[in-house]
Amino acid sequence: MEVTVNQKKHVLEDACSVKQMLSMLLPATTTGFAVAVNQNIISKSDWHLHVLRQGDQVLLIKATQGG
């Protein structure tokens, strides 16, 4: 299955959840970010429930500090 993550195409296993995708694509120590799928924010508590589909557009948004 092919999805786009931050404008880069990735091939993932079928029936892959957001949490599974993140564990494949990001280092385990990465924290402080939000996930949107097809322009809908996915709550962190739902990452393991939200199953990605062919052609989904995923956006990873890193939290930053500033003022």
- Pairing between β-strand 40-42 and β-strand 33-37 as defined by DSSP bridges: antiparallel
Residue 67 has pLDDT above 70, yes or no: no
pLDDT digits (tens, 9 = 90+) for 7-53: 999 998 778 999 999 998 887 766 788 999 999 999 999 999 999 99
65 or 1: which carries more pLDDT confidence? 1
Helix (H), strand (E) at residue 60: strand 57-62
Q: What is the pLDDT of residue 66?
A: 66
Kindly provide the residue ranges of all beta strands, DSSP E only, lying in the chain, ordered along the sequence.
Answer: 2-5, 8-11, 33-37, 40-42, 57-62
Global pTM reads 0.86
- The two structure tokens encoding residue 50: 């939200």
**CA 67, CA 59: separation in Å to the nearest integer?**
24
33 or 56: which carries more pLDDT confidence? 56
